[in-house]
Amino acid sequence: MLRYLLNKIALLIPTLVGITICAFAFVRLLPGDPILAMAGEHGVAPARYEELKEQFGYNLPIWQQYARYVGEVATGDFGVSISSKRPVLEEFKTLFPATLELSFFAMVFAMVIGIPAGIFAAVKRGSWFDQSLMGTALVGYSMPIFWWGLLLIIFFSGYLGWTPVSGRIGLQFFFKPITGFMTIDSLLYGKWDAFRSALSHLVLPSIVLGTIPLAVIARQTRSAMLEVLGEDYVRTARAKGLSAARVIGVHALRNALIPVVTTIGLQVGTLLAGAILTETIFAWPGIGKWMVDSIFKRDYVVVQSGLLLIALIVMAVNLIVDVLYAVINPRIRAA
C-alpha cells in the first residue's frame, strides 16, 4: 500500500511542474507589458518602470524568473493582489471555505440522490422509471447553470417563499468567522437559528451546483450496477437464496461503487468550474466569483496564484480518490 501511495505521489510531481509552468506562462503570454498593464492608464515614469521591473524580476532571464517564482510559491508566498492590495493567500483563505462548504453540500445532494437512483434504475432496467431517470439525467447534464439557478430562485424563493433568494446566511446573524464554514461556526456559537438559516441558504445553490454531478453519478452508478449484476458471483449469490436486498446491497453494490468513487473524485473539477456561475447568481462570496472578478480586473497576481491554488486542490482530491480506490479494490494495490 505504501509503495502504491509513493508511486501516486511521484506521478504528481510532473503534473505539479506542468501547472507551475502554465500559471507562470499565463502572465507572460498575455499581450502587453505586465508592468504597464498593472500601472493602469496613467502609466509609470521610466525610472519607476525600471524599479518595478527589478522588483518583480522581469529584468532577469526567463528561466531565472521561473526559478524565482517556484521558490516564492514553495515558501508559501503567493503575492499581493493588484486591485485590493491584500495578500492573495489571505483572500483565498477568507473566501475558500464558502466554496468548500457549498461544494460539499452540492456533492452530498448529488450522491444521496444519484446513487440510489442509479441502483434503482439498474435493478428495474428498461422500466418507465429507468427510462425517465436516464432522460432526466441527460437533461440535468445539459442544464445551463445560470438559467437553472434563476428559475429555481423565481419559483422556490419568489413564488413559494420556501428558501432565501441569495447570500450565505440571514443578515440578522453576525459573528466573526472561526472556521469560515457558516454551518459549523453557527453551531460553535451555539446559535441554532443561525445554523438553520445557513442550511436554508445552502439548499438552492447546492441543488444548482449539484445537478451536473448528480446526473453523472446516477448514470455511472446505473451502468456499473448493470455490469456487476450480470456477473457470475451475483448469479451465485442469488442461487444460494440470498434476499434481493442483500445481493444488491452487499454483493453487487460494493463492486459497482469502485468506478463511482472515481467519478465522484473527478467531479471536483466540475464543481469548481460550476461554482463560478453558481456563486455569481447566489451572491455567494467564494473563490469562483473571486477568480472571475480578477480576470476582468486584469489582476494577474490573483489569477496566477488562484489558478495554482485551485489546481493543487484538484490534485490533492484526485490523490485521495486514488487512495480510496485502493482501499475499496485490493487488486489495484497489487498491480
**Of 167, 165, 326, whose CA–CA distance to 258 is shortest?**
326
The 73-92 site mask, x for binding other proteins (CB under 8 A), equals: ----------x-x-----x-
Please tell me whether residue 297 binds other proteins under the rule CB under 8 A.
yes
* Cell triple for 289: 466569483
C-beta separation of 283 from 267 below 8 A: no
C-beta separation of 248 from 117 below 8 A: no
Rounded CA-CA distance 171/236 in Å is: 59
Rounded CA-CA distance 65/72 in Å is: 11
- Closest CB to other proteins among residues 39, 307: 39
Rounded CA-CA distance 146/254 in Å is: 36
Rounded CA-CA distance 302/147 in Å is: 28
- Which of 282, 291, 301, 308 is in the footprint of other proteins by CB under 8 A? 282
Helix, strand and coil percent figures for the chain, each rounded to 5: 80, 0, 20
Which amino acid is located at 117 in the chain? A
The distance of closest approach from Cβ of residue 72 to other proteins in the complex, given in angstroms and rounded to an integer, is 19
Please tell me whether residue 174 binds other proteins under the rule CB under 8 A.
yes
Please tell me whether residue 150 binds other proteins under the rule CB under 8 A.
yes
- Closest CB to other proteins among residues 6, 36: 36
- Closest CB to other proteins among residues 75, 172: 172
**Of 269, 270, 280, whose CA–CA distance to 149 is shortest?**
280
Please tell me whether residue 35 binds other proteins under the rule CB under 8 A.
no
| Interface stretch with other proteins, choices 34-42, 55-63, 64-72, 102-110 (CB under 8 A) | 34-42
Rounded CA-CA distance 238/247 in Å is: 7
Please tell me whether residue 164 binds other proteins under the rule CB under 8 A.
yes
- Which of 57, 79, 167, 269 is in the footprint of other proteins by CB under 8 A? 167
- Which of 65, 136, 166, 262 is in the footprint of other proteins by CB under 8 A? 166
Instruction: Assign 286 to helix, strand or coil.
Output: coil
| Interface stretch with other proteins, choices 24-32, 171-179, 249-257, 310-318 (CB under 8 A) | 171-179
The distance of closest approach from Cβ of residue 149 to other proteins in the complex, given in angstroms and rounded to an integer, is 9
**Binding residues for other proteins (CB under 8 A):** 38-42, 83, 85, 91, 94-95, 150, 153-154, 157-158, 161, 164-168, 171-172, 174, 280-283, 285, 289-290, 293, 295-298
